[in-house]
A = this chain, B = another copy of it.
Amino acid sequence: MLDATRRDDRTGQRTVDRTARRTENRYGNRPTMKDVAARAGVGLKTVSRVVNAEPGVTEDTERRVQEAIAALGFRRNDSARVLRKGRTASIGLVLEDLADPFYGPLSRAVEEVARAHGALLINGSSAEDPEREQELVLALCARRVDGLVVIPAGVDHQYLEPEIAAGVATVFVDRPAGKIDADVVLSDNFGGARGGVAHLIAQGHRRIGFIGDQPRIHTAVERVRGYRAAMEDAGLAVDDRWVSLGATEPERVRRAAEDMLTGPDPVTAIFSGNNRVTVTVIRVLAERERPVALVGFDDIELGDLLKPGVTVVSQDAAQLGRTAADRLFLQLDGAALPPERIELTTRLIQRGSGEIPPSSP
């Protein structure tokens, strides 16, 4: 790498212009503070003072140093700085998949908080794989991020204990951590689902289906629990064929929906457990003649423009991220807070699909 540049340096020995001469080192031949100091005719520490805007440098010296910096194209090496200072001014965010419209806004919100605290955000996708989650988290710890926001894929986070003990601030979001005591910021998944299902019951539905994510995911479990609670509150029995938990792949969701919509005692309404599921269920229902009611967990874009509009239990992804990040920096700012569980409320948004009355089979 960079051979071309090096060759230039060697051939045209006096090309002090674009590729100013300098000692050979790694990083593709970058000037260091030492180089700047030599060029400006000052001590190393003086350069450091200028670069970090520390006091105690005459205007004249400062100017000479700045000139040398510009001429050489110097840029401070933060790796060295971090090694000395012990703080990286960066935090990590491990989530499931940045391509999911739920996580984009969450990540952006965390980034904004980090930015306000002068920190950079490094985020990684676990792809819902516990091993990959751990791998990512530990890689971030090796880079000595100051703090960590984690949307857990796995259920056991004991591997984080030494890191937390060593001072890595940690907050879990969206799902609680497993086997470890730590801050966690959640939506009220149970209450939200319960309310959504109760809404369907209030419309007169008695046979209601639930299609959700895999049962090893906390939110899926909480939401199905909310569904069962609402049914029980209303004195309604739940047929096993009405409940389906599993991967959110369109094929599986489609099959699950079609199964509960046919045969004896078909459901007249469906509660879908997250945005991915909702999208597929909408497609299935659009193909059918008899109207079926639908309430989905998570809002979806353009949900208001479909016919009928999609009634949803909405959670605020950005607020989730913001709250977690705020909490993280509270920890980083030295507050010795006992681990806390923060729960954000959800909101039922009626748009039509959830207000469809039951139709006789």
A: residues with CB less than 8 A from B are 1-5, 18-19, 26-30, 73, 75-80, 82-83, 85-86, 88, 90, 97-101, 103-105, 107-108, 111, 120-125, 138-144, 161-163, 165-168, 279, 282-283, 286, 300-303, 305-307, 318, 332, 334, 336
Contact = CB atoms under 8 A, between A and B. Distances in A.
Q: Within the oligomer, what is the number of copies of this chain?
A: 2
A75 B306 contact: no
Given A30-B166, A75-B163, A90-B143, 4 more contacts: A4-B336, A75-B141, A79-B144, A121-B123
Given A4-B336, A143-B78, A302-B306, A73 B165 contact: yes
A104 B111 contact: no
A12 to B, nearest CB: 14
B122 A122 contact: yes
Most buried by B among A77, A83, A101: A83
26 contacts: A3-B336, A30-B166, A73-B165, A73-B166, A75-B142, A75-B162, A75-B163, A75-B166, A77-B142, A77-B144, A78-B143, A79-B143, A79-B144, A80-B83, A90-B143, A97-B108, A99-B108, A111-B124, A120-B122, A286-B305, A300-B302, A301-B301, A301-B302, A302-B303, A302-B306, A306-B306
Contacts of A120: 122, 124, 139-140, 143
Contact of A166 (B29, B101, B302): B29
Given A27-B86, A83-B79, A305 B318 contact: no
Nearest to A138: B75
